[in-house]
Structure 1
């Protein structure tokens, strides 16, 4: 058997393979005998048809089985001999099978893992800064206030409307001559109504009527009415004031705390963890950005396609959660939307795998178990058995192992980096990625 590997372009390789007639003939005869056992050919009992008739009537099946029997094993040997790592399903580009002369030749095309020209000195002592923000009592109090507001109730009052009141009104709006009527319930001062209407309602009481006329600004908050002349007549049906619950131990117990002091302690811990996670993410991002500037990383088409598909599915789920009718969005549009991020993700994964290789990092079974436990806490209510079963059924355990390896590489990069701390200012503070009040209630 002869097999020649040639590099085409980028990470694409081809294997030209040619098999000895003696080996092909032997394999063909074995395949024919197997087919003959169940072949139904007129005039012959099962298992008795001549081999030459089997070859004639089942040529395509013989060719398929022949390729399956000879090509993968020999291709795997040839690839291992030159130390390549295949990352795509090998595809048969050309196939020539001459059953008369027992000749089999083929050309197989596949992608290999790209070689990344990076050395330890490229990533050792990378200098980055991280912003550090100290969690204050004021931060804790803001979360407590958020929890109190979330549990607040509205009670009807007999007084003029103030900001923060819940108001119900019926209205008739004339927009550029087109009239429509209805009713609405909104909190004043929360940008739920047009600002001109908000202002006209302040100071009014239940039962009062009023009218406001204005030309809407060219602003998206006015929707279809932007830039148009508006006259709105209204009648106030009810006015309700927000009543906050009392901040006491009973209130704290609603959020899994024993007392107000315990609630504030828990909030502070959550805020500090969120801040630590933010700092970690900031450092990771900056180190990766610095490395990507130094290293050229080819992006294999096969890996890019898989990453685009994964990110597109996640994007569709997120859009659906926000009430978007994803059926109205073409798959091509979503794919184009996520392509730049997917391309960078592939580069980062390949980069981290190379760092892991250079640093001799390995993933133990214990590492995998810890990651399964983490995933179980996130999505399976802490049930590690169920989490493992789900990962195994979907064939994702190898992916979990790779994720752990990449994280180890990232941790190593952070360990080797020179990190300068910079106190966060009002200008460079970042919004938290999640709502601490939501964390407390979960």
Structure 2
């Protein structure tokens, strides 16, 4: 019988949701027996049995030697030839292969199986025009520029031997130490001439308090109690005594803020440096404003457009988010046990975030369809030219990158066009105040 033959079967819907359907299918022996005959004939063509040529093994021997193979092949064939027909009866277009469960079959009996399938949601996006947005603009002030100049001076400071010879709250202290826990030395906690920046936020408080006021040559016993969730399991929850010797005390010496300093930064003079800082802050502020506007648009769209999305796609997105978090934590030195605990604790949060991400993608695609927003070849060519202009010596690399990532680039450009459309059609109220100094 032809592989295109359609068999008669009974099917019923067990559960139906906007993106999910669960069904049960039954196929009578009169239909499975037809397919079984075809399956055995197919096995006969390739079966190898001692004493017989390939393709010439008698059918009774085939049935005696290959019942399990025939049964498995029969089930596979019958499911393939009926599952999509069952979905077609319900006018349900699956986005992927249905998941088959609960198969029941013995030779001569009715074949029964259940399955679940998912489809794309029907999306009609609502309320995406005239979105009310509050845009708060920060004006760059001289105080912001001066703060950035202070940071630049600090970054270009030189370390010199302390003029007072005494450890202060912002000193750089060069120490040698050994660590002890319950009176026993910890081999891994040992250092010679290690520099500690007491002004740094991540410096342990015990060192900040214990070294303050010390002088070169002093010895100090500094006790550190590590938190129970500390990344290093060997130290987590333990008290460690650092027997510390102060080898040297240093402090920062800032350069003078003048035209020479600006020239060292690659600029003509101090005024030019201030101008560049202002431009940088204004560009950063523009990005912040755009990000805030986009965030408000997304929140509005998600709030006004609630619908079911395929669970399998949400799960795929959730796995991506968790992997991204895990990879980042690994890069920061976290161990597998700590990462596993964080994943477990964040499971619900990432599930909710994944659902929103997937729903948003459907919303944006719906807007694209409604407003006929597309990315043409000219826009792609213009984007490639921008990259070529920015990388004039890497033409081949840019060409290869575009060839390999054309679909992703087009998707990114389309998203930019969607948000531009949404902003252009939004109702934006603006307010302005001085940028906070931070």
Does residue 413 of structure 1 match 2:422? yes
Q: Which of 331, 345, 349 in structure 1 is aligned with 2:357?
A: 345
Does residue 240 of structure 1 match 2:245? no
The 2-side partners of 1:419 and 1:290 are apart by 13
Please list every run of 5 or more consecutive structure 1 residues that lacks an aligned counterpart in the other structure: 432-442
Q: CA deviation at 1:345?
A: 2.1
Matches within 5 A, 1:240-389: 240-244=250-254, 248=261, 251-253=264-266, 267-330=277-340, 332-364=344-376, 383-384=397-398, 387=401
Does residue 134 of structure 1 match 2:139? yes
Q: CA deviation at 1:46?
A: 1.8
Other-structure match for 1:434 = none
Please list every run of 5 or more consecutive structure 2 residues that lacks an aligned counterpart in the other structure: 1-6, 230-234
The 1-side partners of 2:222 and 2:37 are apart by 92
- Contact 1:170–1:237 (Cα < 8 Å) also in 2: yes
The 1-side partners of 2:245 and 2:134 are apart by 57
* Number of residue-to-residue matches in the alignment: 407
- Please report the TM-score for the alignment, with normalisation by the length of structure 2: 0.68
- Contact 1:159–1:205 (Cα < 8 Å) also in 2: no
Other-structure match for 1:111 = 118
- Contact 1:17–1:106 (Cα < 8 Å) also in 2: yes
The 2-side partners of 1:368 and 1:64 are apart by 50
Does residue 168 of structure 1 match 2:174? yes
- Contact 1:375–1:387 (Cα < 8 Å) also in 2: no
Matches within 5 A, 1:28-67: 35-50=43-58, 53-54=61-62, 57-59=65-67, 61-62=69-70
- Contact 1:158–1:205 (Cα < 8 Å) also in 2: no
SS of residue matched to 1:306: helix
Other-structure match for 2:3 = none
Q: Deviations over 1:108-152 (max 9, x none)?
A: 311222334x554x2221111021123345444544543443343
Q: CA deviation at 1:8?
A: 1.5
Q: Which of 149, 153, 160 in structure 1 is aligned with 2:154?
A: 149
SS of residue matched to 2:134: strand
The 2-side partners of 1:370 and 1:238 are apart by 58
Q: Deviations over 1:170-193 (max 9, x none)?
A: 789999999999886433444546
SS of residue matched to 1:113: coil
> Using a 3 Å threshold, how does the CA distance of structure 1 residues 412 and 15 change in structure 2: closer, same or farther?
farther
The 1-side partners of 2:93 and 2:118 are apart by 9
Q: CA deviation at 1:38?
A: 3.6
> Using a 3 Å threshold, how does the CA distance of structure 1 residues 14 and 211 change in structure 2: closer, same or farther?
closer
The 1-side partners of 2:370 and 2:183 are apart by 73
- Please report the TM-score for the alignment, with normalisation by the length of structure 1: 0.67
The 1-side partners of 2:85 and 2:36 are apart by 22
SS of residue matched to 1:239: strand
- Contact 2:120–2:309 (Cα < 8 Å) also in 1: no
- Contact 1:89–1:110 (Cα < 8 Å) also in 2: yes
Q: Which of 12, 15, 30 in structure 2 is aligned with 1:8?
A: 15
Q: CA deviation at 1:302?
A: 1.2
> Using a 3 Å threshold, how does the CA distance of structure 1 residues 127 and 86 change in structure 2: closer, same or farther?
same
The 2-side partners of 1:57 and 1:19 are apart by 25
- Contact 1:171–1:232 (Cα < 8 Å) also in 2: yes
SS of residue matched to 1:133: strand
The 2-side partners of 1:374 and 1:19 are apart by 61
Other-structure match for 2:432 = 423
Deviates more, 1:278-287 or 1:362-371: 362-371
